[in-house]
Structure 1
């Protein structure tokens, strides 16, 4: 079915991955245009991190399930690229290494008999902390299943060797040692009520992004586009088996439906083992946070 969209977006980037992070949020709602992982649906140019930019999209017609060569700025290619972002975070993310899509250069899609639809992409990915960028080739297969069943997670292959090899061992070990013996277990929400994240709390925001990628990867389909909007609450639990342990309440923004979805996450982390999600639970629907403010 053809999809005709006219979009005029004024995007104000409030979250940067440097030392100062400022964004205005309410506790149960968030403007996803302020998140550096946000992806414009259809635009003539992509956003520049840390700057205010207007994105004026032209009126287009496109079959959402088009085969063959894809427009890099349109939904199908952008959705598949964001799945690669979540995939890399689940395997290589840490408190000091978080990946996101910087741009899609080319892509094509094809139906795979008895399997689903396969997307082949040439994209740029960035580590938001070090600002390192790499052009990567990736393949995403959205598996075909029964509609009444829970969709299977997409299968991803990506060659991003330079990003995955970024060395953050020194920072991670220092963070681990600091909180391994912490006697007063930390509890906070990010950003705080003033829309600010203290530099010392940024690793906990990064951990929330990485852990949320586990959920977003598993929930992604050809009809969704997920980003983490907010860490509503993070509580450090007692260290077990030399693993830091955390209880997170995160808000995910499904950008197609504009729904804000609440999830509870229990996970552990250490420099040697990475993030391990132990429990996850989707919380009841929130009627007051369906759509972030200023998302017209």
Structure 2
């Protein structure tokens, strides 16, 4: 993948040189071509194309697993808060409802016997498409063990979850179901940040499906954003679920890796997005097939 697309994807997702510090977006937050996983925040660091220069002592401080009251701008609180975002998208997201972390107001961490670490958070969450923001309380428990386990999340965001998009979803579902040919799209967004209007629902479906991966992969030491749907195609099905094959690119902001995942998922208004299969693709070093048109 070329330097140009890496830089553009970084700008689209609001990524930063240090995941503990974010930029204030200049674009209208209702524009869904700007990725909903970006986290707006005022910073004092130098801003260069969506990245900041952060003093080394701040990076070292942010890596310490603090107990008790947390700095809401530092790694521990922000990593836990992003897990809440992925949880909301996984369980409540749709082509017409996407959730993004707007701000972390306060946080507290504590060790829970032998089970793990619990984070108590006060955050603001934005529903991107309607441009609605609500203050929410959340609890995230990262479980200990030899094998990585799904973080346990509880969140109270009642007003955001009341929005009813079923009529829009049903209309889109019938449109996709009755199409004469199966849908497909590539590079959402492209290297210039552009998405054709007809492809935005596919992009949103890719975000929701990818949130399942990011939730599953999240730990206290990671911070995930979705960068791009490299390609997505509708598959033939005879039941009441639309089925999609998707190749998505995730940006792990701590390691600065772009990680490729292959997803098989279904969608219908009553059932939502259900990921049937997820497979992490190997890191491409030599002789690897690149995603289409990402040079």
TM-score by structure 1 length? 0.81
8 Å CA contact 1:229, 1:251 repeated in 2: yes
2:279 aligns to what?
281
In structure 2, C-alpha distance between the alignment counterparts of 1:131 and 1:278, rounded to whole Å: 30
Number of residue pairs matched? 261
Distance 1:145 1:167, change over 3 A: same
1:32 aligns to what?
10
Aligned pairs for 1:1-296 (under 5 A) are 26=5, 31-35=9-13, 41-43=19-21, 46-48=23-25, 50=27, 55-57=43-45, 59=55, 60=58, 61-62=61-62, 64-146=64-146, 149=147, 151-189=148-186, 190-192=188-190, 194-287=192-285
Q: Which moved more, 1:208-217 or 1:31-40?
A: 31-40
8 Å CA contact 1:41, 1:73 repeated in 2: no
8 Å CA contact 2:90, 2:209 repeated in 1: yes
8 Å CA contact 2:18, 2:254 repeated in 1: no
8 Å CA contact 1:38, 1:227 repeated in 2: no
SS of the residue corresponding to residue 48 of structure 1 reads coil
Contiguous gaps of at least 5 residues in structure 1: 1-23, 290-296
Contiguous gaps of at least 5 residues in structure 2: 29-39, 46-53, 289-295
Distance 1:96 1:143, change over 3 A: same
Structure number having the greater strand percentage: 1
1:37 CA drift (Å): 8.0
In structure 1, C-alpha distance between the alignment counterparts of 2:109 and 2:92, rounded to whole Å: 26
Q: Please give the per-residue CA displacement for 1:98-124, whole angstroms capped at 9, x wherever unaligned.
A: 101000000010001110000000000
1:63 CA drift (Å): 5.2
SS of the residue corresponding to residue 209 of structure 2 reads helix
Structure number having the greater helix percentage: 2
TM-score by structure 2 length? 0.82
